[in-house]
């Protein structure tokens, strides 16, 4: 099975909005992953990062958080084969400020959470947070690479669990359209 990596870049010391700042996400190529399929996130910055994820499964929309991802490390956010094409990420830089965000509004909160549904976040006592969209192309596994624009993208991004396979030429993806949430 083949999975792709997505790089999301955050400007140094600025709030980041995927659509407003014109987020350029690079599709770096494929890698083969034997028998293990997950949704992973790698933090290629020099800061600690907090991450939340939104997705739709058979029971509807869910948002979950927080994963604390150390500098230059990876974390598995969802285990097993992916059940949807689109996933949504919101992340904050704990050490230098700033965020990776977008226009797909979902419910979240400051403390650990699992929230069902995306409607009426504020009325239900949650925050209304803008997540950026990740299109997995219906792959069975996926890795998102968070980077800081002030830092060079490493020559070699953090490795997946298995060796890299056939690579594809880099492709630039457009940010999600205004109101680009699929929920």
Q: What are phi and psi of 121, to 5 degrees?
A: -55, -50
Q: Cβ–Cβ contacts within 10 Å for residue 122, how many? A: 9
Residue 181 inside a domain? The answer is: no
**Residue 30's pLDDT is what?**
38
Which residue stretches of the chain have pLDDT < 50? Answer: 1-6, 9-35, 152-155, 160-183
Return the H-helix or E-strand segment holding 23: none
Residue 173 inside a domain? The answer is: no
**Residue 108's pLDDT is what?**
97
**Residue 33's pLDDT is what?**
39
Transcribe 19-44 into DSSP letters. Answer: TTTT--EEEEEEEE--S--EEEEEE-
Hey, what are 13's tokens?
A: 């010391």
Residue 152 inside a domain? The answer is: yes
Per-residue model confidence as pLDDT tens digits over 110-127: 999 999 999 999 999 999
Task: Record the pTM.
Answer: 0.66
Residue 153 inside a domain? The answer is: yes
Residue 101 inside a domain? The answer is: yes
Q: How many domains does the chain have?
A: 1
Q: Pick left, alpha or beta for residue 155 (phi over 0 → left; psi -120 to 50 → alpha; otherwise beta).
A: alpha
C-alpha to C-alpha distance for 64 and 124, rounded to whole angstroms: 16
| Domain span holding position 67 | 2-27+37-166
Residue 111 inside a domain? The answer is: yes
**Residue 36's pLDDT is what?**
67
Task: Using the structure block, give the residue that is written with the tokens 């099975």.
Answer: 1
Spell out a b/e string for 34-54, using b for 16 or more CB atoms within 10 Å of the CB, else e: eeebbbbbbbbbebbbbbbbb
Residue 12 inside a domain? The answer is: yes
Per-residue model confidence as pLDDT tens digits over 34-43: 446 899 999 9
Residue 146 inside a domain? The answer is: yes
Per-residue model confidence as pLDDT tens digits over 14-29: 334 333 333 333 333 3
């Amino acid at each position: 099975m083949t999975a792709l990596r997505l790089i999301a870049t955050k400007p140094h010391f600025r709030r980041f909005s995927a659509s407003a700042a014109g987020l350029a996400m690079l599709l770096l190529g494929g890698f083969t992953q034997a028998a293990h399929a997950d949704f992973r996130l790698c933090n290629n910055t020099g800061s600690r990062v907090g991450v939340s994820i939104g997705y739709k499964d058979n029971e509807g929309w869910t948002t979950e958080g927080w994963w604390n991802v150390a500098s230059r490390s990876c974390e598995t956010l969802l285990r097993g084969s992916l059940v949807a094409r689109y996933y949504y990420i919101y992340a904050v830089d704990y050490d230098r400020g700033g965020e990776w965000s977008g226009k797909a509004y979902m419910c979240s909160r400051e403390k650990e959470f699992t929230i069902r549904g995306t409607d009426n976040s504020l009325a239900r006592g949650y925050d209304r947070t803008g997540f950026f969209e990740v299109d997995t192309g219906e792959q069975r596994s996926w890795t998102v690479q968070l980077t800081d624009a002030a830092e060079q993208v490493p020559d070699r991004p953090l490795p997946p669990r298995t060796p890299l396979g056939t690579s594809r030429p880099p492709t630039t993806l457009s940010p999600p359209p205004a109101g680009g949430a699929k929920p």
